[in-house]
Amino acid sequence: MVSLKSFLLASCATALMSSAAWAADPIKIGVIAEAQAVAGSSIAPAAQLAAEEINAKGGIDGRKIEIVVYDNHSSSAESVRAFQRAVSEDKVNAVIASYISEVVLALEPWAGRLKTVMITPGAASDVITQNIAKNYDQLKYTFHGYLTSTSLAGLVCDAAKDLLVEPYKMKTAVIMSEDAAWTTPLDAGYEKCLPEIGLKVVDHIRMSPDTTDFTPIFNKIEGLKPDVMITGISHVGTQPTVQWKSQQVPIPMFGISSQATNSTFWKDTNGAVEGVMYNAVSGPGVAVTPKTLPFVEAYQKKFGNFPSYAGYTSYDDVYMIADAIHRAGGTDPDKMVEAMEATDYVGTIGRIAFKPKGDPNPHALRTGKGYITGLMLQWQSGKQVNVWPKELAAGTATWPSFIKLKAASN
Amino acid sequence: MLFWQILIDGFAISALYALGATGFTLIFGVSGVLNLSHGAIMVGAAVAAWAAASEFGVGPYTGALIGVLAGFILAFATYFIAVRPIQRSKVIAESEKEIFILTATLLWGIIIQEAIAYLFTNNAKTVLPIVEGVTTVLGVRTPRNEYFTAVICWVAIGLLWFLVNRTRRGKAVMAASMNPRGVTLLGIELSSIYLTVWAIYGLLAGVAGILLGMFLGVSSYSVGPLTASAFSIVVLGGLGSVSGSLIAAYVVGYLETGTAYLISPAYRTIPALLLLVVVMYLRPQGLFGRR
């Protein structure tokens, strides 16, 4: 009894002391994400992890960071309701939102109306930042914390040049992408940059994200005899990958395949993903910056699995928001926007800085040398192996036996 | 070449549709229940088979068996949780029971769907195929698993036919679908007939779900479309008519495959749905319906 009593007393005392340690109100960051989708499910835990780390070191200017999580069920309408509730009832100071472009586009005007800084850790559509360019004063509260589709297309082309065109003398490509907001600028980017690296685009197939049977699509692509399929898929992933393998489509898959970035994808596809090459900003075991691997380790230790691509960015976003609040001297939204615009932060995916007002894509991430360069990984025997760029590569490209590299055999 | 491609692919997918719709129509024929949790049971079976093989490392055969068992359990759960309490309720008026069961099974399906999404995410899963590799027949390279799917579907449908036409229990089920009161007068418990039908249904839906998981893959998003496709096949064939459902499955399967190859995969489901609308106008009881 005595010991229980003293334990209770002691815990009360600790509770009092710890609440006394946080003198000012907490800084609240709302996280609106897709708890059921693999890409979205890392967003909230990664933000939580960053907040705990910051709090363990005394918070920001004596203020604790508190993460408030909302599950949006992958729906734009639910996201808007969550955003309104986050701002007006839960009084959050900033919002980290979603990996789906349609969701972020729906939230963008609300960030403006409710004057709340919002950053997306995973959406890609260029339209998000194009909107800011058109109506800066109203929409300046939105920041794009992930690469735009056009940047992604450019990075895929850079990698394709080194990995496909030079070693295998590939000449032709078919673009295969899902019909969604993020792929419109992606496809335009592919159409522009693939010919520049010497890959002629022989066809461009946009499929419905509801497609379940990819046989007719692969059949058509095979008939065109391209050297490579350049992909733009995120909402679909498992099914085209598995059917590619089970039908033994002899053409490599290369490009964006968001689901392939997840560590669980091998199991989801029963290993059919072997040989698929995909772009990413991070990968297991790749030390993009000194912060990357410690983050992955801490995440894995705490949650028992690996973060999705949006987990890395969400983790960085909390640090960036905290840093901006510190530099802005508080949570005044306009001052926070100014501070966010001045961000120069080395995160887990590279050096992060935003494009300025006046750029066609204001508040988009800077890419290229010195900033974010991206990676190209390949699934090899159950592991995601980085094969590009050379200085970060952990292995070389290999292909499943059913892939026939026509040009290479010449 | 394209002709053979459509013929082979269409055959496999139609066989799968037929198997999925048979159980659905059987339940309706015997007990008047439109089970709108059908898609959820199929997906549940497939995801269980996937999880057993991928997460716990059992082989493809054991995985498939666990999947069938899951389909069986889910079907019984549907009956005991969503259907039977309403059938036996004294509070709900007899005339309203049908709509209550419809709503209950729909909601039950959504519960299963959400549970799958939360436990296993909404990413698509594929069941480890039992047969691997491809075969080239008539110049068409087809996964062996596709032939396997078609064979298993027809074996299952054949067994069902045998059960219904050649065994005492099966004949009682058939009789119950024609005249429930007559069966009761012959001294057969209607409730035990229901149990038999739900057991058969659970096996059929489980097998169909697993084969679909091997052939194309399933996710929690597939639940709605799967229920809708079984529903439209059954309505097209005539509610409660098993042979009508089989023929309708082939009509829908080939219409979809033909559209996907000859027009565009994006319009895959449209012609079949248009046909459904036309049939509803001209022959509301369906192609082979008796009522």
Which segment of A145-149, B200-204, B273-277 scores lowest on mean pLDDT? B273-277
User: Could you read off the pLDDT of B189-208 as tens digits, one per residue?
Assistant: 888 889 999 999 999 999 99
- CB-based contact B46:B125 (threshold 8 Å): yes
Label residues B52-69 b or e (16+ Cβ within 10 Å = b): bbbeeebebeebbbbbbb
Place of tokens 């994400």: A33
User: Could you read off the pLDDT of A93-141 as tens digits, one per residue?
Assistant: 999 999 999 999 999 999 999 999 999 999 999 999 999 999 999 999 9
| Residue closest to A299 by CA, chosen among A70, A41, A94, A72 | A41
The rounded mean pLDDT for chain B is: 90
d(CA A75, CA A299): 26
d(CA B115, CA B123): 13
For B171, phi then psi, to 5°, come to -65, -35
| Residue closest to A325 by CA, chosen among A86, A112, A68, A51 | A51
pLDDT of residue A1: 42
Contacts of B126 in chain A (CB under 8 A): 238-239, 242, 268-270, 272
Label residues A64-86 b or e (16+ Cβ within 10 Å = b): bbbbbbbbbbbbbeebbebbeeb
**pLDDT of residue A6 exceeding 70:** no
User: Could you read off the pLDDT of B49-60 as tens digits, one per residue?
Assistant: 999 988 888 888
DSSP A366: P
User: Could you read off the pLDDT of A398-409 as tens digits, one per residue?
Assistant: 999 999 886 544
CA distances from B157 to A262, B152, B172, B228 (A): 39, 9, 18, 21
Interface contact flag, B219 A213, Cβ < 8 Å: no
- CB-based contact A394:A285 (threshold 8 Å): yes
SS3 A351: strand
Edge-first strand order for the sheet with A200-207 is: A200-207, A172-178, A228-233, A253-257, A277-280, A375-380, A383-388
Q: A 205-234 residues with CB below 8 A of B?
A: 207-208, 210-217, 219
Read off the pLDDT band of A37 (50, 70, 90). Answer: confident
Q: What is the dihedral of CA B171, B175, B181, B185, to 10 degrees?
A: -40
Please compute the mean of the pLDDT values over residues B241-263 and round it to a whole number: 91
Domains of chain B as residue ranges with CATH: 2-282 (1.10.3470)
Read off the pLDDT band of A410 (50, 70, 90). Answer: very low
d(CA A406, CA A257): 24
CATH topology of domain A150-280+374-409: Rossmann fold (3.40.50)
Place of tokens 């439209």: B232
B176–chain A nearest CA distance, Å: 37
Contacts of B122 in chain A (CB under 8 A): 36-37, 74
pLDDT of residue A16: 47
Please compute the mean of the pLDDT values over residues A289-303 and round it to a whole number: 94
Nearest by CB to residue A270, choosing from B118, B126, B142, is B126
ipTM rounded to 2 decimals: 0.84
Chain B, nearest residue to A269 by Cα: B126
Q: Do the two domains A20-147+288-352 and A150-280+374-409 of this chain adopt the same fold?
A: yes
Interface contact flag, A37 B121, Cβ < 8 Å: yes
Interface contact flag, B124 A36, Cβ < 8 Å: no
CA distances from B220 to A98, B109, B120, B121, B226 (A): 20, 11, 9, 8, 10
Interface contact flag, A37 B122, Cβ < 8 Å: yes
| Residue closest to B21 by CA, chosen among B179, B253, B190 | B253
- The string of DSSP codes covering B63-132 is HHHHHHHHHHHHHHHIIIIIIHHHHT-SSS-GGGHHHHHHHHHHHHHHHHHHHHHHHH-SS-B-PPPSS-
Interface contact flag, A247 B142, Cβ < 8 Å: yes
How many Cβ atoms are within 10 Å of B155's Cβ, its own excluded? Answer: 12
* B134/A275: higher pLDDT: A275
* Ranges of each domain in chain A: 20-147+288-352, 150-280+374-409
Read off the pLDDT band of B135 (50, 70, 90). Answer: confident
Strand A27-33 vs strand A65-71: parallel, antiparallel, or unpaired? parallel
d(CA A136, CA A219): 46
For B174, phi then psi, to 5°, come to -60, -45
Task: Tell me the CATH class for A20-147+288-352.
Answer: alpha beta
Which segment of A99-113, B17-31, B62-76 scores lowest on mean pLDDT? B17-31
d(CA B274, CA B256): 12
Q: A 102-141 residues with CB below 8 A of B?
A: none
pLDDT of residue A132: 97
pLDDT of residue A118: 98
Find how far residue A373's CA is from the centre of its chain.
Answer: 14
DSSP A51: H
Interface contact flag, B266 A272, Cβ < 8 Å: no
A27–chain B nearest CA distance, Å: 29
DSSP A381: T
Contacts of B261 in chain A (CB under 8 A): 216, 219
Per the structure block, which two tokens stand in for A135?
């109506």
d(CA B16, CA B257): 13
**pLDDT of residue A224 exceeding 90:** yes
